[in-house]
Structure 1
């Protein structure tokens, strides 16, 4: 399963990079649960859809440095660059822990830390 889960996530990331939120959401279960640790929790595909509309007004640039899979879990580690409402870019390091159910993304625990002036 691990290679299949990796392929699903990478296809989903490609959809986000193309600005196709619905293309990404087709990989999510209707009852998906996203927890941004220390920030917010999104319950259900519609909540994720609304969050993407406001958070990804421009497609983010996501790099994946490592994918680690075991059983129904897939961990992605990398960086993401987003553009804020003020037009400035924000660069963050992330560690996303995904859980799959029947080849759908059913749960996310996202650990995201903004990188400031690190070289």
Structure 2
């Protein structure tokens, strides 16, 4: 039985600790990160470069729901990231991740700014 949800929980724990490489070890070399309506990162090196900048300060996030179905895990919750001015910005997120051989092959992220604090 696959347990991609447990793999994602370990990867997320690495992110929370600021361990980008710990997260990346759970990704395939050809992983793709698709930020719907924004940009697509192709390959582990592109994701590494993005994380070095976007996650220079580890993100704070809370995934309220995780659902596993076959090769997919969907997680929904909130994430806070520092912007270019060093301010923490809150977002609501839903990620659909496709796994291949126990690794993240694709992450499709639906992310919107949480305007409740504005």
2:85 and 2:57 map into 1 onto residues whose CA distance is 12
Match of 1:51 in 2: 50
Q: CA deviation at 1:62?
A: 1.1
Match of 1:62 in 2: 61
Q: CA deviation at 1:118?
A: 5.2
Structure 1 stretches of 4+ with a deviation exceeding 6 A read: none
2:84 and 2:38 map into 1 onto residues whose CA distance is 18
Alignment of 1:1-119 (within 5 A): 1=1, 4-117=3-116
Q: CA RMSD in A?
A: 1.3
1:62 and 1:117 map into 2 onto residues whose CA distance is 16
2:61 and 2:87 map into 1 onto residues whose CA distance is 16
Unaligned runs of 5+ in 1: none
Aligned residues between the structures: 118
SS in 2 for 1:38: coil
SS in 2 for 1:117: helix
